[in-house]
Amino acid sequence: MAERILRPEDIPKSLWNDDNLLHLPTALRDAYLKTLISKDKLEVACKEYQSGPIGGETPEETDLHFVRRFGGSCARVELAVLDPKNDLKNASDFFMRAFSGGRVRLLDIPCGCGAASAVLLATVAELRRQNVLPREPLEVIVTGGDKSDPARNYAELIFGELKEALRNQGIFVSVSLHSWDVMDGASTTSLLDQWLSNQDCDRFFLLIANFSGVLSNKGKIRKAREQLGEVFRWTGARRSTIAWIEPQTNEANRLSVSDVLGEIFERLKFWHYEPKVFDEKLTSKSNYLHPVCNDKTPSVRLLLRRLESPKP
């Protein structure tokens, strides 16, 4: 394997310390802390971990998800971006290449409270701040889709708190969040139109994270087949990079070998250039420092599927 763009030994201690402990980027921890305080949720977030809802359509469910699962959702994506243990082959290069500079259109589905796209950009910003990556001007147009209004409201707050820190590292972000139901064809078409309507960019990137809990519930993957197929068909037509990150759960494992998912990926045959398809089940795990409680180091595990269309 060729040498990685971001070598594990170059990852700064602010993100991965000598005890092999993952740290969320400081800017994101600060944004999360301010949001918890503004919502009077800091005390709840520091209590002993309890399992909570995955996402949440009601304000109450979303609050529980945000205070109990947001840190883990961030850590899982950060682990994929950094790959400090070299578990994921060259997956880190996907992120490093796509977000090195220029103009990128990022589709985040389901965006939830904004964890995936926020930690991706905050990690790149921290690598720039630590002089690991050059500060080339980077403009990112984030298009997020999620069914939950309360979750999208949290995402707006997180990005509102994060934008200045990103700007200080030459990363200029605009965020557009939309109501999206993977079971609904009209909302899927509308979301893709928002993402792809303007082609004035250097790269397209599709980030899917923490979707298995929803898709595995009562066979929803079959009901979502046509909509996900449309997402991949249009993503392929733009020769986009795709990263699909899930927790290592029974649901995610079943989904990763699903015949239905295989049928959906068949839509990629429409790509102008054959995509590179890598190992379907790349995995990694780590402990991470809780974003607001320094005495807690929960564990996080990920399952990664990666596809990338090569340059013509």
What is the pLDDT at residue 272? 45
Cα 115 to Cα 55, 82, 183, 248, distances in angstroms: 11, 16, 22, 18
Instruction: Round to whole Å and give the CA distance between 252 and 86.
Output: 22
> Which residues are within 8 A (CB) of 193 and not within 5 positions of it... i.e. 6 or more apart?
none
Q: 209 - beta bridge partners?
A: 245
Cα 277 to Cα 25, 126, 189, 243, 305, distances in angstroms: 30, 30, 25, 11, 9
Instruction: Round to whole Å and give the CA distance between 38 and 186.
Output: 35
What is the pLDDT at residue 82? 98
Pairing of strands 203-209, 282-288: unpaired
H or E segment at 178?
Answer: strand 171-179
Is 12-308 a CATH 3.40.50 domain? yes
What is the pLDDT at residue 26? 97
What is the pLDDT at residue 289? 95
What is the pLDDT at residue 212? 76
* 3-class SS letters over 63-84: HHHHHHHHHHHHHHHHHHHHCC
Cα dihedral: 112, 63, 22, 255 (round 10)? -50
Instruction: Round to whole Å and give the CA distance between 65 and 56.
Output: 7
- Asked if residue 182 lies in contact with residue 214, where contact means CB atoms within 8 angstroms, the answer is yes
What is the pLDDT at residue 265? 63
What is the pLDDT at residue 308? 64
What is the pLDDT at residue 278? 43
What is the pLDDT at residue 220? 79
What is the pLDDT at residue 277? 52
Instruction: Round to whole Å and give the CA distance between 219 and 227.
Output: 15
- Asked if residue 172 lies in contact with residue 140, where contact means CB atoms within 8 angstroms, the answer is yes
- Asked if residue 289 lies in contact with residue 297, where contact means CB atoms within 8 angstroms, the answer is yes
pLDDT tens digits, the chain, 312 residues: what are they? 678 999 999 999 999 998 899 999 999 999 999 999 999 998 888 875 555 545 556 777 788 889 888 999 999 999 999 999 999 988 899 899 999 999 999 999 999 999 999 999 999 999 999 999 999 999 999 999 999 999 999 999 999 999 999 999 999 999 999 999 999 999 999 999 999 987 789 999 999 998 877 776 666 778 888 898 889 888 877 778 889 898 887 766 666 555 556 666 665 555 444 555 544 578 999 999 999 988 899 999 998 887 665 554
Instruction: Round to whole Å and give the CA distance between 127 and 131.
Output: 6
What is the pLDDT at residue 69? 87
> Which residues are within 8 A (CB) of 36 and not within 5 positions of it... i.e. 6 or more apart?
42, 45, 67, 292
